[in-house]
């Protein structure tokens, strides 16, 4: 039985899980909270739904990445913001 069938996930849910898994700052805990899908099952779903080369590339990126695990993060609340990132103010594009 596939992960998709086991957790009654439709195509839209699978797409969202894959998108969340690819995001660097979205922890596996957020996926588990939203879809009741533990990290092990997310990995299995990614393996089933992606091409082999894409899965290998994703797995290499995720392994050891502290931001994918909420307990390993260096920041506790909100989003991490780089010290070099500037606040966007008076942005002409945003005012359109």
Task: Tell me the pLDDT of the chain (96 aa) as tens digits.
Answer: 888 889 889 999 999 999 999 988 788 888 999 999 999 999 999 999 999 999 999 999 888 776 666 665 555 555 555 565 555 555 555 444
- Find how far residue 75's CA is from the centre of its chain: 17
Contacts of 93 (CB under 8 A, 6+ apart): none
Backbone angles phi, psi at 25, to 5 degrees: -95, 0
The pair of structure tokens assigned to 3 is: 């992960």
Burial of 37 (0-12, 13-18, 19+ CB in 10 A): buried
């Amino acid at each position: 039985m596939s992960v998709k069938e086991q957790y009654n996930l439709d195509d839209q849910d699978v797409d969202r899980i894959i998108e969340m898994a690819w995001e660097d700052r979205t922890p596996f805990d957020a996926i588990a909270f939203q879809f009741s899908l533990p990290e092990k099952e997310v990995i299995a779903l990614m393996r089933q739904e992606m091409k082999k080369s894409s899965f290998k590339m994703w797995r290499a990126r995720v392994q050891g990445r502290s931001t994918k695990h909420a307990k390993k993060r260096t920041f506790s609340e909100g989003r991490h913001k780089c010290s070099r990132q500037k606040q966007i103010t008076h942005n002409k594009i945003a005012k359109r």
